[in-house]
Chains A and B, each alone.
Chain A
Amino acid sequence: MESSIISISHLAKNYGSFQAVKDVNITVNKGDVYGILGPNGAGKSTTIRCMLSLINASAGSISLFGHDIKTHRKEALSKIGCIVEKPDFYKYLSAETNLAIFGRMAGADVSKKNLHKMLSFVGLQGREKDKVSGFSHGMKQRLGIAQTLLHNPDLIILDEPTTGLDPQGIIDIRNLILNLKNEFQKTIVLSSHILSEIELIANRMVIINKGITVVEGSVQALLNQEELLVLFEVTDSKAAVNSLSAYKNIQIIDPHHFEITISKNEIPECIAKLQQAGILVYGVETKRKLEDYFLKLTKA
């Protein structure tokens, strides 16, 4: 049975006359990898900052683990590890000392053994005594994740965890996040500009636009509702289009490729019809993914 550990209801935040967040509603269940999506300025970071009580909400309610963040801040935050925007550390201190400082504040075990274990988990073994000033962005991101894990929180919040990383760094962080979910059964909330990241990692998501929740739910369920643009590679595209004449929105690309707009469930049916017509199918590529869905919703 799913139990909600984050419940945000009608969240609003005003800066003077400017409404950064108007009406955000979020429900995160235990064990979720939950993606927060939205264009720049949509209110994602403001929502995360409100969740962590870094910003005082103008209206609405935020409940973490059943605790109201306004009245039971300490209880709520004791179960959370987070990186907001980018992992900033005391550059003049070593990785180990930085971890110890933030660990002490969270009531974590800051013994050398535990600190080294965490640094090792994020791939920073051997760099314990090095000053953070010499760390790359990717290393700081890893150190940030070590910092979030030190007090063994149930929920990890990562704001744009892959921003500024090179392709290998993005893959490393993605694997680290999946490891946290699969091995440590952590609930993870992450926002990202890279929409494909959310599609690869998250099981549930919310799309925020102009400070309002546009849609929330299971990533797969939301995507399955949508019609996909499917590219077929066949022996004869003209014959294939004729055999699929019952379908609308079908277009020949070249003698061996055609595109068709159908739902995911209709793909096997199409393939069967093509086979019945003696047309061989060499490849099927679904082109409408999260980015198309995201753009459709945010542009609307």
Chain B
Amino acid sequence: MELLRFTTAGSVDDGKSTLIGRLLYDSKSIFEDQLDAVKRASVQKGSEHINLALFTDGLRAEREQGITIDVAYRYFATPNRKFIIADTPGHIQYTRNMVTGASTANAAIVLIDARNGVIEQTHRHTFIAALLGIPHIIVCINKMDLMDFREEVYTSIKNDYQAFASQIFPGQDMRFIPISALKGDNVVKPSENMSWYTDGTLLHHLESIPISQDHDLKNQRFPVQYVIRPESDEFHDYRGYAGRVAGGFFHPGDKIVVHPSGIESEIVAVDTLSGPLAEAHPPMSVTLTLKDDVDISRGDMITGVGAIPRQSCDITTMICWMNQKPLQLNGKYALKHTTKDVRCIIQDIDYVLNISTLEKMTENKAIRMNDIARIRLRTTKPLCFDPYTTNRITGSLILIDETTNETVAAGMIV
């Protein structure tokens, strides 16, 4: 059984919470005591139906205000796959939350209200999904029941969507499904009202999307996370480099280079508690031992000798700003990249992006909460990185405000 992580994107009344509630309810992932609690709460609030959205609103303030504040994670499983849903709210701080949910997702569900078609919000959601490199997009055209389940409504929205999405990310895996989250059409069960649609329910797509190619399997990347030195009699001279494989395959006998030092060596073993392995690949956590006694510490990167990562102190990156305090040009921030901690200074802002029109604004370059921009920064020590489009792990970074310790930006290296 494989694990698929997906996120949901939709505007306020697109029926996102209802869709998730429907997926959980129809796949029998909601328990009786949860259902009872939601029934009680629905009655208390005077709603006529069971409010499926209440399954996902976890905090007191959310239930009181009827809104979702923060990313929540939901789980369900079918005999074929286990699913993790990053449920991102549509109201406040939307970009920040969607970026968070999208950062680890294999797939994104983009919800469109069949009555409204493709709107500005749809552009924003699609752009963020593309920016965060989500490999698979599932466009759900919802509320088909309110449009009499007409095929031409679906076809026209699908054509509109394809027209703009093909400009943002050509070649993207994109699927379209007409649904009614409220009535359950094409979510888990095939719709009896839309016999003209035969390409499978939402759950069918979630269960069958191929996800094994979502990692970079070509270039060997191993950020060293922790050095294991048992200092015991049995393992007196043992020195292991623990980490999670970020790209490619690692085997005993592979020639490797350590960055940034450039020292070369060879892998002796890929160790785990259950014994040595013949091969490690993303996203496995393992421990490598090397032939030579070299100086390696947390933050270094072990790669193959062939395709080595770029190495530089000057980084150009797309960022999503996530803090109330605007970005300070020439300001200093702490920066995390893989397992490495450095400091950096913001040297220049290339442009701020209007993500509805995709217009690059080069005049007014103030960067505030939820803004997306391209910036240049300089780090105190060189980073070993790949473009984000090649590797989502070695191509991403976060910025931290050194006075508040808050995470203020997500970066996708260009």
Report whether chain A binds chain B: no
